[in-house]
Chain A
Amino acid sequence: MSEPAAPLIRIQGVTKRFGEVAAVNEVSLDILKGELFAILGSSGCGKTTLLRMLAGFERPSAGRILIDGADMTDVPPYERPVNLMFQSYALFPHMTVEQNVSYGLRKEGVPAAQIRERVAEMLSLVKLESHAGRKPEKLSGGEKQRVALARALVKRPKLLLLDEPLAALDKKLREHTQFELANLQYQLGTTFVVVTHDQDEAMTLASRIAVMHEGRIAQVGTPGEVYEYPANRYVAGFVGNINLIEGRITERADGRLLLHSDALEADLAVACDDPSGLDGAVTVAVRPEKITISREAPAGGGRNVVKGIVRDLGYFGDQSLYRVRAKSGAIVQVSAQNLRRSAKLTVEWDDEVFLSWEVASTILLRS
């Protein structure tokens, strides 16, 4: 996907109020053609309302939605070039798989011969040719999901919306389906917007993610940007594990802030090109996997080194998780890859350890 892409969907200042409450608040977002875009947020963050406005089930209280240049704000769902794959799949229980998939084409008035052809093509794409005559109740969860996908895709929508597409599947099937979904999207080139509360789902599927919080967009970026460069405290805490550290500015070196954390009894350093607006207390953050844990004091480092005692240890085989307590009682989470084969851990419970991380790994959170 290297060719320059035009924004297919433009969400411009969209607000949706239910009574006094703004479920979606002044959201503006551009989604590019051919993108696999994820809207990520916890329940009640407004992502479902935003999705329903894209599908046409809800009308924005303010703002507008453009799809391929056309204003969709007042276009009813049955006239939009958009299809939705429901979280519950919403397969018509009284119709066979084939009737379910052909329903949209029949409503569109597509000639019967073409319907047959397109439905067969779709069913073979999702590998359900042999199930065409079955009713939904005779299908497994994964098969239902594929029927729902085929039914939504057969109309060749400009935009496919997927509401928690993997939530109803068990863990094994999820991992498999995840890759199939991304693959299918790549093959078809249709723009997908996935709404999900599951950060793993968003991270692995999407080319870009919008994190929503309390009706607003907290950050938009690639999975890497959202994870490594969270824009604020909420995104930092919501996506992945993180250690939040409160600090007091002690010195402004060029391109750096030097801080002292009372809770960790440590001097910290964080990269900062523009220290304006920052004074006194600031919050920095470090991901657990960026921290090195060791029983020996690291050489040469006074900054970003924390002393503590291992209070908890979780061994997962490929990695170990540590909860290390500093003298003040503050807990720092550390994860370490178990790179060397050994049944004996180098760091054990109650060991006194040194935690250290690079300046570049420290995240400065301005809000």
Chain B
Amino acid sequence: MSGAASRGRDRSLRWLRRAVMFPYAWLLLFFLAPFLIILKISLAEPVVAQPPFSALLEWGKDGFEGVRATLSNYAFLFQDGYYGIIYLSSLKMAAISTLLCLLLGYPMAYHIARQPPRRRQLLLLAVILPFWISFLLRVYAWIGLLNNKGVINDVLIWAGVIDQPIQLLYNDFAVYLGIVYSYLPFMILPLYANLERMDLDLLDAAADLGARRWQAFADVTLPLSVPGIIGGCLLVFIPAVGEFVIPALLGGADTLMIGRVLWDEFFVNRDWPVASAVSVVLLLLLIAPIMWFQRLQGREHGGVS
């Protein structure tokens, strides 16, 4: 209870408080601030200038003259059915990709989690190994594989399975393949983290109480892995909705995804306000599932009512 000791404690508390502030500062600087800029642009009007949008706050000779904001960009999004279709199409493609990732990733994560520790490390390494190569390169590599004159068609023709190359590239199939391939690790890792933690005594207990293996899986493993499933699905779904590179490189002209629309609005039409409105709406669409997940987790940790 000496003064020196309590001063020491005060100092370490102060440091702790600062350390806790750091993530907030980070989020403020790199997430909230850019978002506010985008939000501001989405309320502006497009002009032929540099930057290509009107200012939000007007300053005259006498200083501040007023706020000039318009919701016309949002109105445009809603009136033009085209955007609605693209949002839905993006959500659908992301949802199907997420489901495919889950169906592929769950058995893989389960298998890895049940291996002896050393093999587990090896298999996990294999899962994250693709990250060592640039994402862009890996997507380009798929072009080489899926091309009409690509490896897959060549092999199939050589083996006599087909005599005409099948169209594998520049369609929705290629986009699904690309998304599932690229995002599978984001599904496996949270699922693995969850399944690896599971107390295997619980499965023995279920068997002891009369459950067959598949029943024990359905009654115990699956419900307990729900947080991992949700985590993995969000990690795949959210970036997949706004994915640009994969549909741009592997998709066809009729592949409708919001990421390409954003690109077109920004760089082809140079309509920054509409492009910003598109991304704000996208963000709002994605916030809903995140908040739902947060609540679910909060309930899990907060205990039962």
Partners in one complex: yes
Contact at A86–B204, with CB atoms within 8 Å?
Answer: yes
Inter-chain CA distance A88–B304, complex, in Å, is: 22
Closest to A163 in B: B201
A366 interface residue per 8 A CB criterion: no
Closest to A157 in B: B208
B210 interface residue per 8 A CB criterion: yes
Contact at B207–A78, with CB atoms within 8 Å?
Answer: yes
* 8 Å CB interface, A82-96 against B: 82-84, 86, 88, 90-94, 96
Contact at B215–A107, with CB atoms within 8 Å?
Answer: yes
Inter-chain CA distance A152–B223, complex, in Å, is: 22
Given contacts A135-B303, A137-B303, whether A78 and B212 have CB atoms under 8 Å apart is yes
B206 interface residue per 8 A CB criterion: yes
Chain B residues whose CB sits within 8 angstroms of the CB of A155 once the complex forms: 209-210
A7 interface residue per 8 A CB criterion: no
Contact at A90–B205, with CB atoms within 8 Å?
Answer: yes
Chain A residues whose CB sits within 8 angstroms of the CB of B201 once the complex forms: 86, 88, 90
B80 interface residue per 8 A CB criterion: no
Q: Chain A 118-149, CB within 8 Å of chain B: the 1/0 string?
A: 00000000000000001101100000000000
* 8 Å CB interface, B205-237 against A: 205-212, 215, 219-220, 223-224
Q: A132 to chain B: closest CB distance in Å?
A: 12
A234 interface residue per 8 A CB criterion: no
Q: Chain A 97-127, CB within 8 Å of chain B: the 1/0 string?
A: 0000001100110000000000000000000
Contact at A57–B204, with CB atoms within 8 Å?
Answer: yes
Contact at A88–B210, with CB atoms within 8 Å?
Answer: no
* 8 Å CB interface, B164-222 against A: 199, 201-202, 204-212, 215, 219-220
Contact at B220–A78, with CB atoms within 8 Å?
Answer: no
Q: A90 to chain B: closest CB distance in Å?
A: 4
Count, A-B residue pairs, CB within 8 A: 65
Closest to B202 in A: A90
Residues of A within 8 Å of B, CB-based: how many? 29
Contact at A135–B209, with CB atoms within 8 Å?
Answer: no
Chain A residues whose CB sits within 8 angstroms of the CB of B202 once the complex forms: 90, 92
* 8 Å CB interface, A44-85 against B: 55-57, 76-79, 82-84
Contact at A76–B303, with CB atoms within 8 Å?
Answer: no
Contact of A93 among B209, B210, B224 (CB under 8 A): B224
Q: A100 to chain B: closest CB distance in Å?
A: 9
Inter-chain CA distance A108–B211, complex, in Å, is: 8
Contact of B304 among A55, A84, A134 (CB under 8 A): A134
The number of chain B residues touching the other chain, given as a range, is 10 to 19
Closest to A108 in B: B210
Closest to A103 in B: B209
Do most interface residues of chain B lie in helix, strand or loop, or is the interface mixed?
helix
Q: A71 to chain B: closest CB distance in Å?
A: 19
Contact at B303–A138, with CB atoms within 8 Å?
Answer: yes
Contact at B199–A104, with CB atoms within 8 Å?
Answer: no
Q: B221 to chain A: closest CB distance in Å?
A: 11
Q: A145 to chain B: closest CB distance in Å?
A: 14
Contact at B207–A57, with CB atoms within 8 Å?
Answer: yes
Closest to B212 in A: A78
Given contacts A135-B303, A138-B304, whether A78 and B210 have CB atoms under 8 Å apart is yes
Inter-chain CA distance A92–B219, complex, in Å, is: 9
Contact at A107–B208, with CB atoms within 8 Å?
Answer: no
Contact at A94–B210, with CB atoms within 8 Å?
Answer: no
Inter-chain CA distance A160–B303, complex, in Å, is: 32
Q: A29 to chain B: closest CB distance in Å?
A: 21
Q: B234 to chain A: closest CB distance in Å?
A: 20
A307 interface residue per 8 A CB criterion: no
* 8 Å CB interface, A205-226 against B: none
* 8 Å CB interface, B18-36 against A: none
Closest to B203 in A: A90
Contact at A94–B207, with CB atoms within 8 Å?
Answer: no
Chain B residues whose CB sits within 8 angstroms of the CB of A104 once the complex forms: 209-210
A151 interface residue per 8 A CB criterion: yes
Q: B167 to chain A: closest CB distance in Å?
A: 47
Chain A residues whose CB sits within 8 angstroms of the CB of B208 once the complex forms: 55-57, 77-78, 82-84, 152
Q: Chain B 117-136, CB within 8 Å of chain A: the 1/0 string?
A: 00000000000000000000
A-B contact pairs, 17 of them (CB 8 A): A57-B207, A77-B208, A78-B208, A78-B209, A78-B212, A82-B208, A84-B205, A84-B208, A88-B199, A90-B199, A90-B202, A90-B204, A92-B202, A92-B206, A92-B219, A103-B219, A107-B210
Give 7 new A-B contacts, CB below 8 A, not counting A57-B207, A77-B208, A135-B304.
A55-B204, A76-B207, A82-B208, A83-B209, A90-B205, A92-B219, A137-B303
In the A-B complex, the 5 residue pairs with the smallest Cβ-Cβ separation, listed nearest first, are A104-B209, A107-B210, A90-B201, A90-B205, A77-B207
